[in-house]
Structure 1
Amino acid sequence: MMKPLSTEKLYNHCDLALFDFKTTDELEELDEIIGQRRALKAISFGIGIKKEGYNLYAMGKLGSGKHTVVEKFIQSKAKDEKKPGDWCYVNNFEDPRKPIYLKLEASMGVQLRKDMLELIEELQTVIPSIFESEEYRIQKQAIIDKLTEAKEKSLLELKERAKKNDIYINYTPAGYTLSPMSDDGKVLGKEEYQALSTQDKEHIQEKILTFRNELENIVQDIVIESKIQQKEIRELERKMTKKAVDASIDELKGKYQDYEKVVAYLENVEEDIIDNSQDFLISAQNNLATMGMNYAKQSGIFNRYNVNVIVAHKDVEGAPIVYENNPTYTNLFGEIEHMAQMGALVTDFNLIKAGALHKANGGYLILDASKVLMQPFVWEGLKRMLKSSEIRIEPLARSLSLISTLSLEPETIELDIKIVLIGDRLLYYLLYNYDPEFRELFKINADFENETDRNDDNIQLYARMIGMIARDNGLLPLDKQAVGKVIEYSSRMAEDSQKLTTHLAGLSDLIHEADFIASQEHMDHISKVQIDQAIMEKIERSDRIKDKMYEAIQRGTILIKTEGSAIGQINGVAVLDLGNFSFGNPSKITALTRLGKGGVINIEREAKLSGPTHDKGMMILSSYLAATYAKDFPLSITATLVFEQSYGRIDGDSASCAELFALLSSLSDVALDQSIAVTGSVNQNGQVQAVGGINEKIEGIYDICSLVNGQKTHGIIIPASNVKHLMLKEEVLEAVKNDTFKIYAIESVNEGLEILTGKVSGTKDANGHFPKESINYLVEEKLKLFANKSKQKKI
């Protein structure tokens, strides 16, 4: 008879002799990442290669620290890279609807904005003063006097000639009037004029018409000369404004001479100021009228000269690293805001806002893949901009042709960026297989390990990591016993006594909860007691469903037999996963066999409650029966297998071993020990294979047996290949030590049969026969009997 496992096989204790510290405060900071060599190598390659399409997708289990690892690794590389420049948008004086961008060295964009504000503020004083100068007044008066003198001379000459022809030209508020004169130089009255002969009247009208035409010509000439005068005055104003502006603009041109686009912009600014010098006079006049209030700031009359710095890197060291937690369309690509004025929405280049792409341009942008895909149109927009290497700020509604209102069309900005998407493996494979552009744009994937080897070196590193978690989060330090317990808990999380989990979020949560308990007890450090209590309370918060199900078994509502023996009946165990908590749930499995041709019938499958993996396990049972017992005769059997009192879907093949034992018991009419449960899958050759959730399954059986028959000895059969995964709780270890709970590790079906029946299972001799009275002999004889009866019925 096979012996049960000793307690040494059931739990891998941490060797505290490896630690030479009292608390984690004594440990050095951890400057490396544990167990992620492959992922780090991929990240290093992806960041290092500066080619189009070599963006990075970091994939792994949620909570494995992907984001932290990626960000820390990028930080170590980015600090030595060139700091990108500032990005600004300025007015396009030729077409204000199409603002232009300026790119300057870091902090120079902010300086340009400051310089432009100072320039406009200075010119608001200088330009009005230049128009109040003596020089300007003299030159303007000379232009005015020139026209006045020419106008008076022309009119005077016309008046003299008209007077000689007895016509008087007079200017009134209603305009020029022409009247006939008498020989003595007086204007004829109405009666006098009427007394003249018709011939004299006609002669007078002819002269008036002639002089009127000449007067109109002179007036037209004066209008033309007035326009020339206005043009000369405007040129004078331009000349005087240029004189005021030149020095300041030339100073700025010299300051930014290395930026060709900035110099061109300053030239356009100068030209616009010269063309709109009256704005500065109006501003000065309104400042006086409003008792010194800043009219320019309130009216926004000079906003067109602002510099909109959308991205500044004044305090950034190296390349920027941006993590966008909420990657909406506007948060990622920027937006053009609007203001309400007089009941209408208006905008200009000052309302252009940067997105995460702008802020990370020249560096690294980290995004959560699932969040990007959840936001409407963001994924398509991101791919489009990566392929074009340009950032285009465009309202989403406009790009979808939902609105046709007039808006800005900012100049596109060159995009030089490395995108890092962080997500799970399934999402990566879906994108890779169903989105052809994804594989072109994200050519590097960093696959994060879920676990790492539990060796002495990694245990030492793990201790430092635990200390770092405590320090970084302002928690109490842990003593060596507490560290040892956390490491053991890590193996439990990894479901492998020889591994350590890389799921740092779970460990961090445990240390936080233990810290709270220790603080409540006014301790100065965290001990093993607080770690144990935190684990226990974590379970207690989530095990309500387990307690209800176990209570139903204890009260006999769910029938589970944990003592005695029975034919064709066995206790299997499954794992119920509730998200943050999982536990082992025993189920009674029964088998009935009879003569027939139905083979092995899975009642769960017939009721459509069986998953494909469970169905596969049933097919393997049929194959095992035929290959082991019925090579020389037909298999004439109908066997039914069922999980009793199971009302939900069942999947997985971890019960196939237990189902086979129930089936063989029914065929051999040999009872199975009901105090021993079974878990494990089986292959066609009768080898028992490893299953998942082995710790929960063992503990579930132990808990149920303790509730129902606490004083008696119970046990469970598990696959031998699962022994390395065992990290069982203290109560189970104590029960095994006291010989009240036994765990058997088997490699074959025959070994399990002997444990469950107390009889020899039997192996074939050289002639291919099983020993008489062995379990396998009895099974084979029953199958032969069925075959013979089936043959006789046909005859």
Structure 2
Amino acid sequence: MVEELKPERLYRRCDPESLPFKTTEELEELDGGMGQPRAVEAVRFGIGIERPGYNIYALGPPGTGKHALVRHFLQARAAERPAPSDWVYVHDFAHPNRPRAIELPPGMGTRLRRDMEQLVEELRPALSSAFEGEEYQARRRAIEEEFAERSNRAFAELRRRAQERGLALLQTPMGWVFAPLRDGQVLSPQELQQLPEEERTRLEREVEELQQELQRVLSQDIPRWQREMQRKLRELNREVTNFAVGSRIEELKEEYAEFEEVAEYLEEVRRDIVQNAREFLGQDRDVQEPGREERTQPPPSRRYQVNVLVDRGGMDRAPVIYEDNPTYQNLLGRVEYMAQMGALVTDFNLIRPGALHRANGGYLILDARRLLMQPFAWEGLKRALRSRLLRIESPGQMVGLISTISLEPEPIPLDVKVVLLGDRLLYYLLSALDPEFVQLFKVAADFDEEVDRDGENDLLYARLIGTIARREGLRPFDRTGVARVIEHGSRLAGDSGKLSIHVESLADVLREADYWASRNGNGAVTAADVQRAIDARTYRSDRLRERVQEQILRGTLLIDTEGERVGQVNGLSVIELGGFAFGRPSRISARVRMGRGEVVDIEREVKLSGPIHSKGVLILAGFLGGRYASERPLSLSASLVFEQSYSGVEGDSASSAELYALLSAISGVPLKQSLAVTGSVNQHGDVQAIGGVNEKIEGFFDICRRRGLTGEQGVVIPRSNVQHLMLRRDVVEAVERGEFHIYPVRTVDEGMELLTGLPAGEPDEEGRFPEDTVNGMVERRLAELGEKMRALAARSSGEDGNG
């Protein structure tokens, strides 16, 4: 005979007197999380090993404290490492579209930027003074006068030779021309025509010769002299510019002498200033080198700036960065644009860093789901980790869809440890579908959701409560409040022998308990405050539960809690919406008739059944055939259904209830409607554990209590679920008063005995069951159906023969 459970087995209390403190203020903070030895070891290993590909994926459900624990260990490790280098971008004067990256010690990037800004400020007055000085103007005039003198001398020689030949050199709006002279006067066209033919021919020949000489002077000599003058002016400008700025740049080169790249850059700056001094002053570019292209690079005010991409000044440790919005550009950086004259332009000063730049030399934490939801972000991260280089380019450039000219910043070496936070399903999907994932994230830190409940962990749980209270600025919890939270932790875990370490859920309860403590004027949070918080959370979420119960109490949903019915039993299911779960009783009915051994699941036939529920129904057919029809056909057809179910049915937790209804329908033995049933069953008739046992029991209890407890109502559960019981206090009190009962069963036979009040019956040596037992009645009924089937078959054969 099955014995009902005693009240002490329905709820595992935590004795406040067993806790060695008065309030959580006396307890030390809990560092590194609780009950995560496997995950902690994996995180320590992943942080400690300095090899490519050993990045970390922290897997587990949200709210288990993955982020806090991972950050704790990363910050501890980062404190042991020095601050990484600064990175700056400067203009590449040889390749303006390819900015150069320079690595500098922490804080030196900002210093170089300030020095270059000061250099530009000092250059303007220095160059202005040098080019406006009397010495420069005098030397420039001398060069220009030399050119003018050469030009004048050449034209004077041409005039002299022309006069000797009776010609004059004249300058007209159309250019230089030669004209005949007589008595010092230029002949008019009419006078020229009156000259003898021989004279006109001679003049034309002389003009042609002198015109060739003039053309040589204009096309060869004067351009050569101009080029010579420009060369001398450039040399003069370079000499003056070098004199004006050389000393300051040499000072900077001495300051940064140990940084070869900076010294090379400063030398290039000096050469560029010398070549573009007048441009730097905003004047006409009359001294620019011939053949130099129009400006395709930033103006001097921006060209000599230093873009500090990553500044480590003031840091004394490696960085630990969490990127909340891991888009492609937020991860790998971007090049911004600005509008000028209706066009978008850019330069190296508009290069912006990404999270990988800020975390370079340290650690980067990312949410895996958010990362995978951003276009190109996952591929960009993998590419950076695989190549160990940070390239700043647009997503279109990365996939080869854009070929327009843009900046191509020099890649930066990447040295970073990446930690992804995500759930288990995502980890397993990535492992199965992305071959690069297992190469780049070799360390899996698997976070558990629960720990064993024992004395040691009770104290650790109390420290966890105290730690959360301190960090959240909550009141301390006294020992009664801690004891109640520990009990609630077991309820969240759904196991009296476990404690939930879902930190977010625990913190929510602590915050709300603190609120009620403030309302009650308590200096410390007590058990009453914690219970008030739990009750208030339930009340805010249980509107749907109340409506379901209301429909049952009003008779809309048919549930009997008294009497007996054949082929009808109360099954229990769980509904979970918005994080709130509650039990809902459901009527399960079965009908049988002659057939060919088919057990029809009506839910499956109308496609309201999930695969697990359908599997459970098929197991029932295996049980019936194995127990009652091992040596003869199973001559029945049965139908099973969840009455008044208007949505899908999934899970096998009702398979034992379906079997009880089926056995009742076959045997004709009525089942007690005062008992509800939960549990799955296998083909041997063993009742197996199910989930949500607490919610299921409480769901049926609430209906019975509101209708009035008779002392006969109760719930039949699998014995293997007893360890999971953490029932509400009102349920436990009803059991103490004998008004409600909870029966654990191991087999279907034990459940049938409870539901029918009759013995299930054991088979004799021949395998037959006693007639006055449930199994005997089932066996006899199946035999009768078999005989009727054979009789019908024989009659049908005879009628066919006569015909």
- Whether the TM-score (by the shorter chain) exceeds 0.5 is yes
Partner of 2:16: 16
Q: 1:206 to 1:537 in 2, by over 3 A?
A: same
Please tell me the residue identity of whatever aligns with 2:303. R
| Corresponding residue of 2:599 | 600
Bigger shift: residues 552-561 or 142-151: 142-151
Gaps of 5+ in 2: 286-297, 795-803
Q: CA deviation at 1:193?
A: 8.5
Preserved CA contact (<8 Å) 2:597 2:634: no
Per the TM alignment, residue 573 of structure 1 is displaced from its structure 2 partner at its CA by: 0.6
In the TM superposition, 1:370-769 aligns within 5 A as 370-399=369-398, 405-766=404-765, 768-769=767-768
How far 1:334 sits from its partner (Å)?
A: 1.7
Instruction: For residue 572 of structure 1, give the secondary structure of its aligned residue in structure 2.
Output: strand
1:294 — aligned with what? none
Q: Give the match for residue 232 of structure 2.
A: 232
The Cα of 1:486 is off from its aligned counterpart by 1.2
Contact 1:63 1:506 in 2 (8 A): yes
- Give the AA of the match of 1:7: P
1:62 aligns with 2:62: yes
The amino acid across from 2:97 in the alignment is R
Secondary structure in structure 1 of the residue aligned to 2:281: helix
Task: Tell me what 2:800 maps to.
Answer: none
Alignment coverage as a number of residue pairs? 779
Cα 1:178/1:480, change in 2 over 3 Å: same
Query: How far did 1:586 drift?
Result: 0.5
Describe the superposition over 1:366-385 as per-residue Cα deviations: whole angstroms up to 9, x where unpaired.
Answer: 22111122122222232233
Measure the CA separation in 1 of the matches of 2:759 and 2:177: 144
Q: Report Cα offsets for 1:560-590 as digits up to 9, x if no partner.
A: 1111222222111111111311111001122
Counterpart of 1:265 in structure 2 is: 265
Name the residue aligned to 2:332. Answer: 333
Distance between the aligned counterparts of 1:29 and 1:524, measured in 2? 20
The 5 A counterparts of 1:44-123 are 44-123=44-123
* 1:687/1:188 CA distance change after superposition, 3 Å: closer
Q: Secondary structure at the match of 2:282?
A: helix
CA contact (8 A) 1:179 1:187 kept: no
Matches within 5 A, 1:773-792: 773-792=772-791
Q: Do the aligned partners of residues 283 and 689 (structure 1) sit closer, same or farther apart at CA in structure 2, a change above 3 Å counting?
A: farther
Matched to 2:760, the amino acid is S
Partner Cα distance (1:180, 1:688) in 2: 132
Q: CA deviation at 1:432?
A: 1.5
- Per the TM alignment, residue 786 of structure 1 is displaced from its structure 2 partner at its CA by 2.6
Q: Within 5 Å, which residues of 2 pair with 1:123-142?
A: 123-142=123-142
| TM-score relative to the length of structure 1 | 0.91
Instruction: Decide whether aligned partners of structure 1 residues 181 and 764 sit closer, same or farther in structure 2, where only a CA change above 3 A counts.
Output: closer
Aligned to 1:288: none
> Does the CA contact (< 8 Å) of 1:92 and 1:100 recur in 2?
yes
Deviations 1:109-139 (A, max 9, x none): 1211111111111111212222234543454
Counterpart code for 1:777: G
Shift of 1:99: 1.8
SS of residue paired to 1:302: helix
Map Cα deviations across residues 14-63 of structure 1 (whole Å, 9 max, x no partner). 13233233322222111132111111222222222233322222111121
Asked whether the equivalents of residues 106 and 313 of structure 2 are also in contact (C-alpha less than 8 Å), the reply is: yes
RMSD: 2.9
1:460 counterpart SS class: helix
CA distance in 1, matches of 2:557, 2:180: 133
- Rounded to whole Å, the distance in 2 between the matches of 1:189 and 1:792 is 149
Are 1:2 and 2:2 matched, yes or no? yes
- Which whole-Å CA distance do the structure 2 matches of 1:369 and 1:632 have between them? 57
Once the two structures are TM-superposed, the CA of residue 740 in structure 1 deviates from its matched residue by 0.5
Cα shift at 1:3: 2.2
How far apart, in 1, do the equivalents of 2:751 and 2:702 lie? 22
> What's the CA shift for 1:728?
0.6
Q: Name whichever of 528-537 and 164-173 sits farther off.
A: 164-173
1:510-533 deviations in Å (ceiling 9; x for gaps): 112222222334433322222111
CA contact (8 A) 2:575 2:584 kept: yes
Contact 1:713 1:741 in 2 (8 A): yes
Counterpart secondary structure, 1:457: helix
With over 3 angstroms needed to count, the CA separation of the structure-2 counterparts of 1:284 and 1:342, relative to structure 1, is closer
Q: Which residue of 2 aligns with 1:256?
A: 256
| Deviation (angstroms), 1:151 | 5.3
Deviation of 1:171 (Å): 8.4
Residue 190 and residue 14 in structure 1: after superposition, are their counterparts in 2 closer, same or farther (change >3 A)? same
Residues 566, 672 of structure 1: 8 Å contact kept:
yes
In the alignment, the residues of structure 2 paired with residue 215 and residue 549 of structure 1 have an alpha-carbon distance, to the nearest angstrom, of 112
- Find the residue that maps to 1:562 and give its secondary structure: coil
Offset, 1:508: 0.9
Structure 2: distance between partners of 1:196 and 1:693: 129
Shift of 1:690: 0.6
CA displacement at 1:338 relative to structure 2: 1.3
- For 1:548 and 1:18, the matched residues in 2 are separated by 41
Post-superposition offset of 1:646: 1.8
| Alignment partner, residue 294 of structure 2 | none
Maintained 8 Å contact 2:87/2:101: yes
Distance 1:215 1:232 in 2: 25
Change (3 A) 1:667 1:163: closer
- Which residue does the alignment assign to 1:310? 309
For the structure 1 residues 204 and 701, does the alpha-carbon distance in structure 2 shift closer, same or farther, using more than 3 Å as the test? Answer: closer
What do residues 402-424 of structure 1 show as CA deviations (whole Å, max 9, x unaligned)?
65543222222222222222111
CA 1:32–1:456: 2 relative to 1, 3 Å: farther
Q: Name 2:289's counterpart in structure 1.
A: none
Question: Does 214-223 or 128-137 show the bigger shift?
Answer: 214-223
Question: CA–CA distance in 2 between the matches of 1:222 and 1:656?
Answer: 108
AA partner of residue 735 (structure 1): A
| CA–CA distance in structure 1, aligned partners of residues 232 and 571 of structure 2 | 105
Q: Secondary structure of 2:583's partner?
A: strand
- Tell me how far apart the structure 1 counterparts of residues 674 and 588 of structure 2 sit (CA, whole Å): 14
Question: SS at 1:523's partner residue?
Answer: coil
Structure 1 range deviating more: 691-700 or 561-570 = 561-570
Deviation at 1:758, TM superposition (A): 2.3
CA positional deviation for 1:101: 1.6
Distance 1:116 1:444 in 2: 45
Amino acid of the residue matched to residue 65 of structure 1?
G
Separation in structure 1 between the aligned mates of residue 59 and residue 278 of structure 2, nearest angstrom: 62
The change in CA–CA distance for 1:699 and 1:101 in structure 2 (over 3 A counts) is same
Per the alignment, residue 187 of structure 1 pairs with 184
In the alignment, the residues of structure 1 paired with residue 177 and residue 781 of structure 2 have an alpha-carbon distance, to the nearest angstrom, of 142
Deviation at 1:699, TM superposition (A): 0.4
Structure 1 residue runs without a partner (length 5+): 286-298
Q: Take 2:788 and 2:205, find their aligned partners in 1: how far apart are those partners? A: 148
Counterpart amino acid of 1:719?
A: P
How far apart are 1:169 and its partner, in Å? 7.0
User: 1:347 is matched with which residue?
Assistant: 346
Aligned residue identity for 1:363: G
Which amino acid is 1:92 matched to? D
CA contact (8 A) 1:179 1:188 kept: no
CA contact (8 A) 2:33 2:65 kept: no
| Partner of residue 295, structure 2 | none
Moved more, 526-535 or 780-789: 780-789
Distance of 2:715 and 2:89 partners within structure 1: 73
Contact 2:32 2:73 in 1 (8 A): no
Q: Give the Cα–Cα distance (whole angstroms) in 2 for the partners of residues 599 and 210 of structure 1.
A: 124
**Alpha-carbon offset, residue 202 of structure 1:** 7.1
Moved more, 152-161 or 472-481: 152-161
Deviations 1:449-508 (A, max 9, x none): 111111111111111111111111222222221111111111111111111112111111
Q: Residue 205 of structure 1: CA displacement?
A: 7.3
1:271-310 paired onto structure 2 within 5 Å: 271-282=271-282, 301-310=300-309
